[in-house]
Amino acid sequence: MPHLQTWRGEPTLETLHALLESTRPLHRLKITFRDEYEPMAPPLLSLPSSPPPLFALYVKTEQPDVVLALVRAVGATLQHLSIYFEHPLPPETTLSSLRTTTSSLRRLSLHLNLSSQWAQDRIVFKELLPEFTVLEKLVFSTDLVATADVVWKAPPSLRWMEIVAYDEAGTIVKDIIDYIPFITTPLHLRQLIIRCEEPDVEELVDVLPGAIAALRSKGTAFLVSFDSETPAHEFFGSL
């Protein structure tokens, strides 16, 4: 069996090229780019057309162009992908990059932690989500992903969904509760977690036990966790 390589660090683009031009397959690539946000010119994003297989990619970066180009290059073999950003992601480019992973990806974490100076056009993930054929675990923040219908668009393979809700947890939980009467068959999803601040769902406290019991009867454990904080180091290695 060929040696499976793990690489961790803060690469230059030259290092990244060298890693992807290697004849040895990469098992895990865990990278952190510099914090300064400086968009890369397109010529610098030219990656090898046939990189070695990469099975796990963990990225904390302020360089969306670079990381999305990387996902496109290795998406066909990726099984685990974890991305942490503190700057906006372009929705359409993000979707097109993730589309390359739909046949291989088993675990996906997308976390955005924006400062007030930035605005994010949310990614409409509900149309892409059903295309994943082997995805088992999905974690995402509501700053990044439009949540409407995402829960009910889960592919049959998905067992775990975790939503980090910063500012609209009450709406998300209410939408879930309102939809429960329309569920007529058992759900494939085994665990549904909403992370939020307690005041965001105070008005729903009385109806939560009933919703939890109703979803349990459909095969899904529903948990509202009063902890919306996902530190970069925790999220970075959460898969």
Bigger pLDDT: 28 vs 211: 211
Q: For residue 15, what pLDDT is reported?
A: 73
Q: Are residues 105 and 72 in the same domain?
A: yes
Statement to judge: residues 129 and 187 lie in one domain? no
Q: What percent of the chain is modeled with pLDDT above 70?
A: 76
| CA of residue 96 relative to chain centroid, distance | 14
Q: Which residues contact 89 (CB under 8 A, 6 or more apart)?
A: 64, 68, 112, 120, 123, 144
Residue 124 in any domain: the answer is yes
Q: How many domains does the chain have?
A: 2
77 and 14 housed in the same domain? yes
Q: Which residue has the higher pLDDT, 37 or 58?
A: 58
What is the domain extent for residue 188? 158-230
193 in the same domain as 111 = no
Of the residues 123, 146, 169, which one is the last residue of a structural domain? 146
Identify the residue with better confidence: 13 or 181: 181
- Token representation of residue 149: 């219908």
Phi and psi (nearest 5°) for 231? -60, 150
Q: How far is CA 178 from the centre of its chain?
A: 25
Q: Which of 114, 146, 178 is the endpoint of a domain?
A: 146
Residue 44's pLDDT band, with cuts at 50, 70 and 90, is very low
The CATH number for 215's domain is 3.90.550.10
41 domain-assigned: no
What CA–CA distance (Å, rounded) separates 173 from 165? 10
Average pLDDT of the segment spanning 111-123 = 69
151 vs 5 pLDDT, higher one? 151
Within a domain: residue 142? yes
20 and 79, same domain (yes or no): yes
